[in-house]
Amino acid sequence: AQSVAQPEDQVNVAEGNPLTVKCTYSVSGNPYLFWYVQYPNRGLQFLLKYITGDNLVKGSYGFEAEFNKSQTSFHLKKPSALVSDSALYFCAARDYNFNKFYFGSGTKLNVKP
Amino acid sequence: DGGITQSPKYLFRKEGQNVTLSCEQNLNHDAMYWYRQDPGQGLRLIYYSQIVNDFQKGDIAEGYSVSREKKESFPLTVTSAQKNPTAFYLCAILAGGTGELFFGEGSRLTVL
């Protein structure tokens, strides 16, 4: 079965420290990969995507993600966390043959002052 | 967001009632989706539509119905057959090509 896994329900980091939110996927072919952020009672906002090419993708608000094909991973990173980064983060994979998206269960990021 | 409008934002329903959630878009995209979000479970696909007058069941379609009579609109009806309808519902559209999903602001349904 196709799936996306986010192994950490919650990640805690101090402001100013680097952060990593992990994601692995099991989707056939060469799926497109995405990260989204969600604030309470809001819709999901697109952060970045990997389609092809450079394994390091840069996105909005200083976030970046590293694609690793051999490990089927797509981890979200930021060099210096802000308190305002505290939110729920979702990883997703798109099976472009069928326009279907598979979402991870989400990781709550807590950035403490 | 932006060109996707969901309404109402909050909705309360008595058991046994059907309710319809609205999703409208002005971005002229073909594919539209409905997801359900419960705490700790991520997003689950209810229905999606690739084109007008056509739609497919997602992973949790039981107790829900949709229509796609116009490109701009993809309403979701939560029927009385849905046993646990209290949730946050998200509508999304697919940007073409290698695009991503764009989400509306969501509708929170609470069954009293």
- Residues A99, B1: C-beta atoms closer than 8 Å: no
pLDDT digits (tens, 9 = 90+) for B22-72: 999 998 899 999 999 998 778 999 999 999 999 999 999 999 999 999 999
pLDDT at residue A99, rounded to an integer: 80
- Residues A46, B50: C-beta atoms closer than 8 Å: no
Q: What is the mean pLDDT of chain B?
A: 93
Q: Contact at 8 Å (CB) between A77 and A66?
A: yes
Of A32, A99, A103, the CB nearest to B43: A103
Is the CB of residue B47 less than 8 Å away from at least one CB of chain A?
no
Nearest to A23 by CA among A91, A83, A70: A91
- Residues B105, A105: C-beta atoms closer than 8 Å: no
- Residues B101, A92: C-beta atoms closer than 8 Å: yes
One-letter identity of residue B52: V
Q: Where are the beta strands (DSSP E) in A1-113?
A: 3-5, 10-14, 19-21, 24-26, 32-38, 44-50, 56-58, 64-68, 73-78, 87-95, 100-103, 107-112
**How far away is chain B from the Cα of A15, in angstroms, using its nearest Cα?**
25
Residue B50 contacts by C-beta under 8 Å, 6 or more apart in sequence? Answer: A99, B30, B31, B56
Q: CA–CA separation, A28 vs A76, rounded Å? A: 21
Q: Please give the backbone phi and psi of residue A73, each rounded to the nearest 5 degrees, phi first.
A: -125, 160
pLDDT digits (tens, 9 = 90+) for A56-84: 999 999 999 999 999 999 999 999 999 99
